[in-house]
Amino acid sequence: MKVVEKDKIVSGMLRDELSRSEEMLVGLRKSLADLPRGALSERKKRYKEKAYSYFSLKYRDGEKVVNQHVSAEQVPALRKQLDQRKKIEKEMKSYQKRIAYLSKILKSGRG
């Protein structure tokens, strides 16, 4: 007999955990919508003994790869947002794994 069949409480907790994970994934996905995507790159140029930095945000828009100029003042805030996006994506992956794992356990318990 499978564990989830054995105990009503345990199987209920697994189902609750699955639904909590799914809800959290929806919330995390929503958080991503407000954040920029892509990678920030810096190009350095020298002109008459002086060094200049040019920043751009490179991201994919369908088939196209877009290189969007970013002013130096925007860079700290943008870096923070891109970092936040990475953290959210990492957290989403861990929830996706958990959802797959829990779905498998609950499915096998029913089978």
Residues of this chain that interact with other proteins (CB under 8 A) are: 8-13, 15-17, 20-21, 23-24, 26-28, 30-31, 84, 87-88, 91, 94-95, 98
Shortest spacing between CB 105 and other proteins, in angstroms: 14
The nearer residue to other proteins, 58 or 97, going by C-beta atoms, is 97
The nearer residue to other proteins, 21 or 70, going by C-beta atoms, is 21
Query: What six digits make up the tokens of 88?
Result: 């959210």
The nearer residue to other proteins, 28 or 57, going by C-beta atoms, is 28
**26: enclosing H helix or E strand:** helix 8-33
Query: What six digits make up the tokens of 9?
Result: 């409480």
Shortest spacing between CB 56 and other proteins, in angstroms: 27
Q: Contact, 71 vs 52, CB < 8 A?
A: no
Enumerate residues 6+ apart whose C-beta is below 8 A from 10. 3, 4
Shortest spacing between CB 45 and other proteins, in angstroms: 37
Shortest spacing between CB 99 and other proteins, in angstroms: 10
Give dist(CA 94, CA 17) in Å, integer: 14
